[in-house]
Each structure stands twice: as structure tokens, then as C-alpha cells.
Structure 1
Amino acid sequence: MRYHHGKVTTHHWLRWYRSLRLVQMCSSPASSNNGHRHHLEVTDHAERSKVMSSAEVVSVMKLSQTVTGFTLRVADQRLTFKAGQWLDLFIPGVEVVGGYSICSPPHQLVTDRTLQLAIKSSPHTPTLWMCTQCKVGDKLSIRVGGDYYYDPPGGVEHGRHLLFIAGGIGINPILSMVQHHVHLQTQQHDQTDTGRVQVLYSTKSRDELVFCDQLAELARSSASLMMSFYITREKSTANQERSDIKYHRINRDDLEQCLSRLQPSDNLTCYLCGPQQMVDMITTTLEQLGVKNSQINSEKWW
């Protein structure tokens, strides 16, 4: 395990947490986690910030039938994050710690001390509380962690192409990364060759393309950015409203078309996030098309 200045792993917390859970499970006939693996156990290997901050819920908004958006105002000025990282979320009165990727860009936290989450409903204890009980004014505690992020030193690398691929709610870290990239582009004096960027965003239904309009607006603001949206469990209609939405799973032909635009491929970095089966399939296909494994960064749901 590597240690870096200002970071700490969670072994000490996890030992306490496991002992607490053992006592709770012995006094309860069933786990309250509804079959989900605990976030702290799954991410035990990841590095975390030392900063634990309180955060007030300042906005709750229904983004789709299954996804709720939250804006949190962060109290501790020392808390920062990199695009793509997640939060440990501690809810008063809820024993299970939640883990949720941040979907807003780092500069938003710097500007107004807020960050945003988009949480898909499920029976997982902290998720159920967030999607059914959380309200404006509630106070939570948060801590940043994660080794999956986009944080190029010195700003956007000239000639560096980026391929972002998201499945379902896996769009959260990808959206943060894309917004961060566009923000870095605007800060650079020389924007003649900041590389090309392609985003592929796939969901089961049109309703779950919760950030479709926001991403399309980003593409209109950046000549180097292209978006493609995919819906896998609905069929197109004659009067479909958008020509940039495709009604199939991301396939080999889609990836080949992307790679033809992102040449030379030696200057390409890929970021994937979504269900494990999807991420594994896309990783295998990219490698078959000549992308090196070292160029592919991925985070899978658990």
C-alpha cells in the first residue's frame, strides 16, 4: 500500500466498523444492507483524504423516475476532490456508510463550496434513505476518496485524445471529468491542439439519460468534444426528437468509429465507468482494436 502526503487508508476505521457491524448483526436477524457489499470494505484499498467535513443538503431534485440529484454545501474549506472521485457518505442514524461518485466538477466546489451527486434508487440502506427521506437542510458528513480520476498535471495535455464511456449511473464520474476537461481548456492560452474528446453515454431508457442535455451543451461549447448517446431497451420511433441518440448497445463498430477520430491512438487515454459486464466487454474490444491496457482506466459497479 502506497501512502501519499495528505492521504490515509481506512484500515483503522474499517477495523472499528467491522467490530461494530458484528455486534449489530448478532442483535439483528438480518443485515440492513440488502445484499450489497459494504462500500468501506469494497474500497478498503483506496486512498482517502484525512479531511472529514459536515455538509448541508441545499437542493434535492428528481432527475428521472429512478435518479435523484442532490447539491451539498461543504463546510470545511480544506475538503477538495479530483474529477472522478467519490464520497464516503455518513448519514446520522444510518449504520451503513454510503459511497457515491461526485458528478460536479472540482472548480464548482472552489467557486461556491457545493458539490453534486446523482443517486439511483435501490434498497441499499443509505441509498434508500437518500432517495426517500433526505430533504433540504439535512446535515451529513463526507470524506473524499478514490484512485480513479482525471487530473492532468499542468492542464490539458496538447495532442492528448480522450475517450469517455459511461453506462447508466456510471455517468457520474465521467460527467465530472468531462466538465473538468472543458474548464481546463478554457484556462489555457494556447488552445490550438488540446486533442479530441469523445463521450459515449449508454442507458436502458431515454428517461435515464439524465445528463444528456447538459453534455450536449458542453459539446456545443467545445469544438473538440463530441457526444454519442445510446438507449438499449427502447426502440426508436419515427418522430424521435434527437438524431444523436442511437438505439442499441455500444458495439465494436461504434468503438472503431471513435478510434478513427482519435488518432494517433498512442496519444489516447480511455475512462470507462458502468456495470462490470459492460466495462469488461468494452475493455476487451478496445484491446482487440489496438488500444493498450495501460491506456484504459475503469471503475466498475459492485
Structure 2
Amino acid sequence: MSLDRIIFRDQSSLWLSPKTQRHLVSVVMSVPGLLSSAARSLSLPCPAAGLLCSRLLVQPSFTTRRNMTSKRKMDHLERTASNSRQSPLYPAQVCGIINESETVRRLRIAVHPNFSFKAGQWVDFFIPGVEKVGGFSMCSSPCLLQQEGVIELAVKYTQHPPAHWVHTVCEVGSQVAMRVGGDFFFDPAPSDPPVDLLLVAGGVGINPLYSILLHAADLQHLNQSSGSVDYNIGSAHLCYSAKNTHELLFQSSITEVCRDFPDKFSCDFHVTQQSPDADPRVQPFINRGRITEEELRARVDPQRTLCYLCGPPPMIEGISKTLMDFGLSKDRILFEKWW
């Protein structure tokens, strides 16, 4: 059983099971006055404390990778026990809700001033009165957090208690608690070598890749505003597959980014069921059928390409093998599996 530790202000400590953690968070958030001080009084180090979470571009051999074999569906805390996590557990409040599609709800969440994350990471999502802990990737850029003090999560409807709560109970003003985790992120430094990004998403696997795409665009804007090439991002191409055009999340925003940087950013949407009422502005980017080997081959340069994959395990496993067949080394392929 995975254990975690709570550190009190006097530095004394107590080891807790995930179930006890969930109960403690529920108690803290249900007592008036405690929620506002939760971030100051609680510190929950990750089970993987001591593991290095280095930037891939600097030290690729230190990047934590998961076994490519699909496993049984597990509880989020159990499934991610070996991942790096930040220590603090922060209180947060839902400040906006929109329906991104018929099955996906996007939350805008105001967070604690000390909250921080890297593009591609996720949060442990604690909900008062809900025993299960959610695991949701940020779909916003770190720049939005810096400018407005908020993050965004896009959650697909399922019967899993945290997702079900988002769609049936959550409202503006709802209070939650969150802790950042994950070894799947894009966080380049100005001194890092040039890189071309290949982002491959399936379904709601777009969430962390959308965050990475927005972050790459923000860095390009920073390069333009400074008049120099501070960040060595050569290009970024997104391959995004969904059942139909209605399930292509963030489609207008993605194509807008590509139009902002036509010589740098590009995207291809793939749908297995074409919809006749697709947005005319998005239509030129839509392809019928799944992502092809030819499309991937055209985007792979073994020396420059850095690939991020997120989607169903069979998709991730198949595309990872294809990319390695094209000469892309394992340490340049990062992946996240969520179901």
C-alpha cells in the first residue's frame, strides 16, 4: 500500500495511507477557517520524493518513464504513486464553468498565490465529501496562471466520482484542494538546444498537449517581444484524433495559434466520423480517418524532434513503436496514459 506523510508546522511528521489523506482533506475543507490556512499548515511530500524530475532537454536519461504495457484500471493515487509530486496541497475555488463540448466541462479555478505548475502536468483533485481523488491535467498555460492567478481543467463526463461531481454538482464558488504532480511536461530553458515539438493526442488526451502548445506559443511571443531568440523552439505540430468534430476540444484556439505562427506551428485534426456542420475555419485542418504513419514520418527528425503523446494506451503504444521505427530514440518520446 502506498503511504504518504503529513508534516506539521513543528516539523513533526505522521505517515498516512491515501484513504486517510482523503479523509483529512475532507475534514480540513469542511471546518470554517481551516480552508484558508490549509496551504500553510499542510505539506504532503510525494511518494517518489528523492526522484529527479529534470528537464528532458537537459538530462533526458533522468526523465521518469512508465512501462508501456497497459494495466488494469486503478485508483488515481495508486496509479501515479511512482510519479513526482509537489509537496503542498493548496485550497482552490471554482470561478468559471463552460461546456467545452456535449461531454466535456471546462473549469476555471482560482488558486493559491504559491501554486505553480509546468505545462503538461496534472493535479490530484480533492473534493469535499467525495472519497475518490481525481487526476486531471491542466489545459491552460503557465502564463495564464502568472497573469490571472487561475488554471483550467477540462473534464470528460464519466461515472467516476470526481468527474461525475464536476458535471453534476460543481458550481461557481465550489471549493476544492489540489496538489500538482507528473513527470510529463515541457519546461525548456533558454540555454537548451533547438527542438521541434511533435504533439500527438487522442480524445481528452489533448489536455496536457494543449497546455504545452499554448506554452510554446507564449515562448514564441516572448522571443518576438524581446527581439531575440531566447527559447530555441523550431516548430510545433499537433496531430489530434477524436471520434467526430464535436469532440475536438479547443479546435478554434488551436487553429488560431497556428495562424499566429504559420511558419512555426501546424496541426492536423483526425476524425473517424465526419460532421457536416464543422466550423468552416476549422474544416481545412480536418482529415477523415486515424493518424497515419506518413504524417508522423514527415514530422520526425531524430536529432531535433521531441514527441509528447497522450491518449488511450493502445494508441500510445502503437505510435511510440512507429516513431522508434523511424529512428526517434526512446528518451525523446514522452507519454501520458489516462485510461
**TM class by shorter-chain length?**
0.7 to 0.9
Which runs of structure 2 are paired with 1:110-149 in the superposition (5 Å)? 110-149=146-185
Structure 2 residues not aligned, in runs of 5+: 7-14, 23-71
Residue 217 of structure 2 corresponds to 182
CA distance 1:96–1:236, shift in 2 (3 Å) = closer
Q: Tell me which residue corresponds to 1:12.
A: 5
SS of residue matched to 1:12: strand
Equivalence for 1:284 = 321
Report the TM-score, using the length of structure 2 for normalisation.
0.76
Conserved? CA contact 1:51–1:78, under 8 Å: no
In structure 1, what residue type is equivalent to 2:219? L
- Structure 2 residue aligned with 1:225: 265
Task: Name the CA distance, whole Å, in 1 between partners of 2:152 and 2:279.
Answer: 30
Aligned to 1:296: 333
- Match in the other structure for 2:99: 62
Q: Extract unaligned runs of 5+ from structure 1.
A: 1-8, 22-34
In the alignment, what sits opposite 2:194? 159
Provide the residue aligned with 1:257 in structure 2. Answer: 298
Deviations 1:20-57 (A, max 9, x none): 89xxxxxxxxxxxxx95211111111111122211111
> Aligned pairs, how many?
275
Cα distance, 1:50–1:220 mapped onto 2, change above 3 Å: same
- TM-score normalized by the length of structure 1: 0.85
- Structure 1 runs (4+) greater than 4 angstroms displaced: 18-21, 236-240
The reply on whether 1:78 has 2:114 as its aligned counterpart is: yes
Distance 2:163 2:278 in 1: 36
**In 2, Cα distance between equivalents of 1:159 and 1:226:** 18
Q: 1:85–1:289: structure 2 CA closer, same or farther, 3 Å change rule?
A: same
C-alpha contact 1:55 1:140 (8 A) present in aligned 2: yes
Deviation at 1:205, TM superposition (A): 1.2
Kindly provide the amino acid, as one letter, of the partner of residue 130 in structure 2. V
- Alpha-carbon distance in 1 for matches of 2:238, 2:278: 25
Residue equivalent to 2:58: none
Q: Is the 8 A contact 1:46 1:145 kept in 2?
A: yes
Residue of structure 2 in register with 1:102 after alignment? 138
Which residue, out of 227, 235, 242, partners 1:203? 242
Instruction: Tell me if structure 2 keeps the 8 A contact 1:168–1:208.
Output: yes
Q: Does structure 1 conserve the Cα–Cα contact (< 8 Å) formed by 2:245 and 2:275?
A: no
1:45 aligned onto 2:87: no
**Residues 1:90 and 2:136 aligned together:** no
Could you tell me which amino acid in structure 1 is paired with residue 114 of structure 2? Answer: R
The amino acid of 2:116's aligned partner reads T
State the Cα RMSD in Å: 2.4
What amino acid maps onto 1:160 in structure 2?
V
- Secondary structure, in 3 states, of the residue corresponding to 1:84? coil
Amino acid at match of 2:314: Q
Q: CA 1:147 to 1:236, structure 2 compared with 1: closer, same or farther past 3 Å?
A: same
Matches of 1:236 and 1:19 in 2, distance apart? 47
CA contact (8 A) 1:48 1:143 kept: yes
1:238, 1:159 → 2: CA distance?
40
> 1:92 offset after TM fit, Å?
0.6
Cα distance in 1 for partners of 2:153, 2:118 equals: 14
- What displacement does 1:237 show? 5.5
Measured in 1, the distance between the counterparts of 2:278 and 2:186 equals 38
SS in 1 for 2:284: coil
Name 1:26's counterpart in structure 2.
none
Cα 1:145–1:194 shift into 2, 3 Å: closer
Check whether the contact 2:89–2:178 (CA below 8 A) recurs between aligned residues.
yes
Amino acid at match of 2:178: I
